[in-house]
Amino acid sequence: MDPLPTASRLLVTALSLRICTRRALPMRFRASCILDKQLRTPQQKRLYSQPVSRQPVIDRSASKLFKSADDAVADILSGSTILSAGFGLCGVAETLIHAIKSRGSESLHSLTVVSNNAGIEGAGGLALITKSGQVTKLILSFLGNNKALEKKYLTGHITIELCPQGTLAERIRAGGAGIPAFYTPTAVNTLLQDGKIPAQFDSKGNVIGYGTPREVREFNGRKYLMETALTGDVAILRAWKVDEAGNCIFRYTTKAFGPIMAKAARLTIVEAEEIVPIGALNPNDVHLPGIFVDRIVPATAPKHIEIKRLRRPSLESGKPLGQNDAAARRYRIAKRAAKELKHGYYVNLGVGLPTSAADHVPEGTQVWLQSENGILGMGPHPTEEEVDPDIINAGKETVTLLPGASTFDSAESFSMIRGGHVDVSILGALQVSASGDLANYMIPGKVFKGMGGAMDLVGNPDATKVVVATEHVAKDGSSKIVQKCALPLTGAKCVSTIITDMCVFEVDRKKGELWLTEVAEGVSVEDVRTKTDADFKVVENVRNMEEW
């Protein structure tokens, strides 16, 4: 007998046995060896359920520079979870979003996208790929004014999981830090806790899917919700300057979700306004180290401004805008709300009417305005010459920065808020109850924009005073001050002061009592009772809300 074939067979058998017992090999590879031990030839086609060649490759030894956004997104898989940075249209990876859209819904589809909000129809942002049908699920804090997306959501064409803005930021931060879950006071005693916020509708507008109920646990006498970390397959973000090692610098409020999303994804792609050689950036200036960045492309899409709001002379003069009754009412509320802002306070002002309180802070009183998208030391709206698309407030409006201001990412911002470092938070309301419950983000069947950062802002009422500034009655004439909120709660027993165009109430949150302390000029206690659905008590000496 020729010894060569026998030796060859023994060698093949020995090698196959060794391959099958190596611990470093994937389990499916070893299983295939066992199943095929009669042949002793590993079946490598069973090694992966999905071909390796389709997975996005991260090659640490290769250059991070890609010629174009199209090249950088070419191997993203359908069904991927994409973390999309930006706040409104500020800091959005517009170049990369266009490249994803260019792949088309046949090549790239069934995407889950995590973002603070989803762009503006006809303007930019994620609206480009939600309209193209490439996205099947969104995880957001706020829908915004995207009517097309809202329609798709309410008719069953897309699933939307709403998440408080601060919780969203912290879930992403935790994902990047390898922390699987955490507890937060945000959204306790709301629909979010019970998993009752609608996530999916059918074509007729009937709810067919809800969110996930949260585990509740008590620490030091307070309830907290357990939230799980969020990670992604791919993160897309836009930076101002990036060196070839991937070190990133962001401008102003563009850093809101960029750094935390880069850390929470398996593959991070950055579009850069300026790409510089290694060594060109001062290490002290780097906001995101290159270890978190895998691909770099030139940013070619222009920046967009969602709401260009300019400083108006009438605001500078401290006089009410317009002469109608509505303008006078709002002026009265804002002027009284400004008295809650003391010298040296750190204050968060909600979008709309609460923001106007800043116009009435007396000269010489230093108040530091915090905007939850990442500003401390926010100034007034800009003049035409001062407009910068990278400096916006939480309402996506253009603003300025005062001397001494700082900017930071959203996780940092909400640590200030939840941690009780903000002295006063002033918000608007749809309803507020006698016990201090607040409802201000949803009217079922009518308004469904999302909670944004409101649930976080009222999450620590013992450390941060929560003030509601709102007109006393709604447009339909119904009272906004009610015994019990009929609308979904933003927060329970969180409001300490209610300021309306008619009066001021102080809330005893422990006893669940409402006290009338001030009335507007020409308004009597009986006038307030007529317009108020809630029961309230009256202090002995009711003051004029405009005279002190």
23 has a pLDDT exceeding 90: no
Q: For residue 108, what pLDDT band results from cuts at 50, 70 and 90?
A: very high
For the stretch 167-203, pLDDT in tens is: 999 999 999 999 999 999 999 999 999 999 999 999 9
For 165-231, strand residue ranges (E) read 181-184, 198-201, 207-210, 216-219, 222-228
> What pLDDT score was predicted for residue 423?
98
For the stretch 410-433, pLDDT in tens is: 999 999 999 999 999 999 999 999
489 has a pLDDT exceeding 50: yes
**What burial letters (b/e) apply to 512-521, b meaning 16+ CB within 10 Å?**
ebbebbbbbe
User: What's the Rg (C-alpha) of the chain?
Assistant: 28
Looking at residues 502-530, what average pLDDT do you find?
97
Least confident of 43-52, 152-161, 242-251, 455-464: 43-52
Amino acid residing at 384: E
Q: For residue 259, what pLDDT band results from cuts at 50, 70 and 90?
A: very high
The structure tokens listed for 528 are 């307030």
27 has a pLDDT exceeding 80: no
> What pLDDT score was predicted for residue 444?
81
372, 397, 412, 518: the catalytic one is 372
Side-chain-side CA neighbours of 305 within 13 Å: the count stands at 15
258 has a pLDDT exceeding 70: yes
437 has a pLDDT exceeding 60: yes
229 has a pLDDT exceeding 90: yes
pLDDT over 90, % of the chain: 80
CA distances from 463 to 132, 422, 460 (A): 45, 8, 6
Tell me which of 470 and 27 has the higher pLDDT.
470
For the stretch 332-368, pLDDT in tens is: 999 999 999 999 999 999 988 898 999 899 999 999 9
Mean pLDDT for the chain?
Answer: 89
> What pLDDT score was predicted for residue 145?
75
For 73, the 3-state DSSP assignment is coil
Q: For residue 283, what pLDDT band results from cuts at 50, 70 and 90?
A: very high
121 has a pLDDT exceeding 70: yes
> What pLDDT score was predicted for residue 322?
58
* Rounded-to-integer distance, Cα 103 and Cα 95, Å: 13
500 has a pLDDT exceeding 70: yes
Helix axis angle, 410-418 to 165-177, nearest 10°: 120
* Rounded-to-integer distance, Cα 126 and Cα 508, Å: 44
For the stretch 39-95, pLDDT in tens is: 333 333 333 333 344 568 899 999 999 999 999 999 999 999 999 999 999 999 999
Rounded (5°) CA angle 90-165-240: 25
For the stretch 319-337, pLDDT in tens is: 555 568 899 999 999 999 9
Contacting residues for 111 by C-beta, under 8 A, at least 6 apart = 78, 79, 80, 81, 82, 129, 134, 135, 136, 137
Looking at residues 135-161, what average pLDDT do you find?
91
> What pLDDT score was predicted for residue 378?
96
Q: Does the annotation count 106 as an active-site position? A: no
Looking at residues 262-285, what average pLDDT do you find?
98
Q: Do 416 and 422 touch, CB atoms closer than 8 A?
A: yes
